[in-house]
């Protein structure tokens, strides 16, 4: 059975001496206000290192592989790379189980390789954002090895240890997001430890000041090496209520066969804000506007607003999926989501994304199987013309799709093994990057990549798409070029227009002199729109075409009678 979306499970807000190595690189855009931090106008690109490029042909991607592709990324128009974890790890959760926070996994390279990546990226004005997993470590981390060695070990209190609730009973009814009890009995000391994710990912005790200091030191280690900031993993689960009250049980069962549960006592506790503020102070003590991106899956805009901090002193860029999970081409739904985020109560800067390593790729989430390529261009247009920072997931610029495992035996992601067939895991969206139409899509010369390439690679790959002027890749490049160079797309406010239209999503990026109108037909039929933009201070009746797809629109368009083909995209200049 096809899973819906993994993060649907994620009903949670995954919300010394300071070095001063400068990472000053050029602005992320060619037109922008000097006072603005780079991340407001950056295009951020997520890389899953294991799947991007394999330099030593062992079937897994690595750091040198990423470095070898920097020219491609530069050419695409990327300003910053978010690398999912590449620290030493038993790879139970493919890097999200960290065994050493201040080194690079040997299978991905060395610290010297990492330093080279930062330096080579900097030459191309590309910054590196690291993934920081603060909620838990690997059970192979020395901290946990020590902590579990005896009840009186000095690191015992670095993790959450409790006595059982009776014969063979865990301390309470809390469940792991990845299935079954969140407690595991350790026979050595006959106590249970708490793990919100896999049992191999024990939760750290964030009420212990030594833990806090150790993790802030980790942050400084990477900031000193020149990273531009962090994406903070699973931030909403840092704290649990100390007296461990049972969570309310809801009706029905989840994909692992466990009862549904409302995690009121072990998620989104207020103390999370203190930690994010503390880390922000660390990050802010470095020059060059280092950034905190948060994995914050808020339920709604009010909850999301809290993650910016009361004084905008927490996340600069909290992530959220209520935009990505519209999951149907609905003009009213997108209008609502964008409007809310653009005018969020905190006044925070929006971060828009459609896909990541935990979600089914949006090429197929939105695709109707007939117009998928055109729909990919339409979603790209939304992402890259809004007032906010776009976050791309590697390969979306090619129209990469999922390649889901066909049987339980093929699954690599442990949740797919525990939850099969209702939960098939996340392998499908983590397949190798499609570089060319040759063996293994040019990802590796090994016989077998760690995950099989998606069969669509013969057509959807970098080499083929660079040569095709109508490709999805060239459309992304053109959009990124426009958002860098058009003053209204850089600085303009966002204004929804034609707001009653159920089929066509239209908005204006209102600049000082010139503005940009974006019109997106979200239906499989042609649609004609009549605009009156006078109420928005725009008097022209025609628009100069900046970008249109399919490519059949003349150099200007009549705003009183603009016809958009099925899933047609029009971006035009108005004044």
- Choose between 113 and 358: whose C-beta lies nearer to ligand GLC: 358
Strands 127-133 and 229-233: parallel
Query: Which residues, numbered 8-27, are part of the site for ligand GLC (CB under 6 A)?
Result: 14
429 binds ligand GLC (CB under 6 A): no
Tokens of 399: 């129209």
Shortest distance in whole angstroms from residue 545 CB to ligand GLC: 39
The reply to whether 93 sits near ligand GLC by the rule CB under 6 A is yes
**Would you say 51 or 491 has its CB closer to ligand GLC?**
51
Gap between the Cα atoms of 377 and 518, Å rounded: 13
204: nearest Cα among 194, 213, 190? 194
Task: State in angstroms the smallest separation of the CB of 207 from ligand GLC.
Answer: 20
- CA-atom Rg of the chain in angstroms: 24
Indicate the residue among 96 and 161 with the shorter CB distance to ligand GLC.
96
CB of 234 to ligand GLC, least distance (A): 4
Query: Could you give the angle at the alpha carbon of 379 between the alpha carbons of 374 and 382, nearest 5°?
Result: 130
CB of 364 to ligand GLC, least distance (A): 19
Q: Is 92 in the site for ligand GLC (CB under 6 A)?
A: no
CA distance 95 to 100: 11
Is 197 near ligand GLC (CB under 6 A)?
A: yes
Could you tell me how far CA 495 lies from the centroid of its own chain? 26
Q: Within 10 A of 544 (CB to CB), how many other CB atoms are there?
A: 14
DSSP letter for 30, please: S
Quick check: 358 binds ligand GLC (CB under 6 A)? yes
Residue with smaller CB distance to ligand GLC, 194 or 531: 194
Cα 524 to Cα 554: distance, rounded to the nearest angstrom: 21
# residues near ligand GLC by CB under 6 A: 10
| 427 scored as a contact of ligand GLC (CB under 6 A) | no
Q: Which is nearer to ligand GLC, 14 or 517 (CB)?
A: 14
Asked whether position 238 contacts ligand GLC by CB under 6 A, the answer is no
Q: Is 334 in the site for ligand GLC (CB under 6 A)?
A: no
Q: 3-state DSSP helix/strand/coil percent for the chain, to nearest 5?
A: 30, 20, 55
The DSSP result for 485-531, as a single string, is H-HHHHHPEEEEESTT-SSEEEEEEE-SS-EEEEEEE-SSS-EEE--
| Catalytic residue IDs | 233, 295
Residue 96 within binding range of ligand GLC, rule CB under 6 A: yes
Q: From the list 73, 133, 380, 441, which residue makes contact with ligand GLC (rule: CB under 6 A)?
A: 133
With beta carbons less than 8 A apart as the criterion, state whether 223 and 283 touch: yes
Instruction: Work out how close the CB of 116 gets to ligand GLC at its nearest, in angstroms, rounded to a whole number.
Output: 26
Q: For residues 137 and 384, what is the distance between their CA atoms, to the nearest angstrom?
A: 35
Least distance from ligand GLC to the Cβ atom of residue 276, Å: 16
Binding site for ligand GLC (CB under 6 A): 14, 93, 96, 133, 197, 233-234, 295, 357-358
């Amino acid at each position: 059975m096809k899973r819906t979306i993994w993060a649907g499970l994620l009903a949670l807000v995954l919300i010394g001496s300071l070095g001063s190595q400068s990472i000053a690189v050029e602005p992320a855009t060619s037109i922008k206000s000097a006072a603005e931090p780079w991340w407001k106008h950056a295009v951020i690109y997520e890389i899953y290192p294991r799947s991007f490029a394999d330099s030593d042909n062992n079937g897994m991607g690595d750091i040198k592989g990423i470095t070898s592709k920097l020219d491609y990324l530069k050419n695409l128009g990327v300003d910053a790379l978010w690398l999912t974890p590449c620290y030493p790890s038993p790879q139970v959760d493919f890097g999200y189980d960290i065994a050493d926070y201040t080194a690079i996994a040997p299978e991905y390279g060395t610290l010297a390789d990492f330093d080279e990546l930062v330096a080579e990226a900097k030459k191309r004005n590309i910054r590196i954002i690291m993934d920081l997993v603060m909620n838990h470590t690997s059970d192979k981390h020395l901290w946990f090895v020590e902590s579990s060695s005896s009840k009186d070990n000095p690191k015992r209190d670095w993790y959450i240890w409790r006595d059982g609730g009776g014969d063979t009973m865990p301390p309470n009814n809390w469940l792991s997001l990845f299935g079954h009890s969140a407690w595991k009995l350790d026979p050595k000391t006959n106590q249970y430890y708490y793990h919100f994710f896999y049992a191999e990912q024990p939760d750290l005790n964030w009420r212990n000041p030594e833990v806090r200091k150790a993790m802030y030191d980790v942050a400084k280690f990477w900031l000193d090496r020149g990273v531009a900031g962090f994406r903070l993993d699973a931030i909403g689960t840092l704290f649990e209520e100390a007296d461990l009250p049972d969570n309310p049980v809801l009706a029905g069962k989840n994909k692992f066969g466990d009862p549904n549960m409302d995690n009121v006592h072990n998620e989104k506790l207020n103390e999370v804000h203190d930690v994010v503020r503390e880390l922000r102070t660390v990050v802010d003590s470095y020059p060059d506007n280092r950034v905190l991106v948060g994995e914050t899956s808020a339920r709604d805009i009010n909850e999301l607003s809290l993650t910016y901090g009361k004084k905008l002193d927490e996340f600069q860029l909290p992530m959220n999926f209520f935009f990505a999970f519209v999951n149907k081409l609905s003009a009213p739904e997108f209008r609502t989501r964008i409007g809310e985020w653009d005018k969020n109560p905190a006044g925070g800067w929006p971060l828009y994304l459609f896909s990541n390593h935990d979600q089914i790729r949006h090429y197929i989430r939105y695709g109707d199987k007939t117009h998928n390529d055109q729909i990919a261009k339409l979603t790209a247009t939304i992402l890259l013309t809004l007032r906010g920072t776009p976050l791309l997931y590697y390969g979306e610029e090619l129209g990469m799709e999922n390649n889901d495992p066909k049987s339980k035996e093929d699954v690599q992601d442990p949740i797919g093994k525990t939850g099969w067939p209702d939960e098939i895991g996340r392998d499908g969206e983590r397949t190798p990057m499609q570089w060319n139409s040759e063996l293994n899509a040019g990802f590796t010369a090994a016989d077998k990549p760690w995950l099989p390439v998606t069969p669509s690679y013969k057509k959807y790959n970098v080499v083929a798409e660079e040569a095709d002027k109508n490709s999805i890749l060239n459309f992304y490049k053109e959009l990124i070029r426009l958002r860098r160079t058009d003053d209204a797309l850089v600085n303009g406010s966002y204004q929804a227009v034609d707001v009653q239209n159920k089929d066509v999503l239209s908005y204006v990026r209102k600049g000082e002199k010139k503005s940009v109108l974006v019109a997106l037909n979200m239906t499989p039929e042609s649609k004609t729109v009549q605009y009156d933009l006078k109420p928005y201070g725009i008097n022209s009746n025609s628009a100069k075409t900046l970008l249109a797809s399919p490519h059949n629109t003349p150099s200007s368009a009549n705003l009183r009678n603009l016809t958009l083909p099925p899933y047609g995209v029009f971006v035009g200049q108005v004044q």
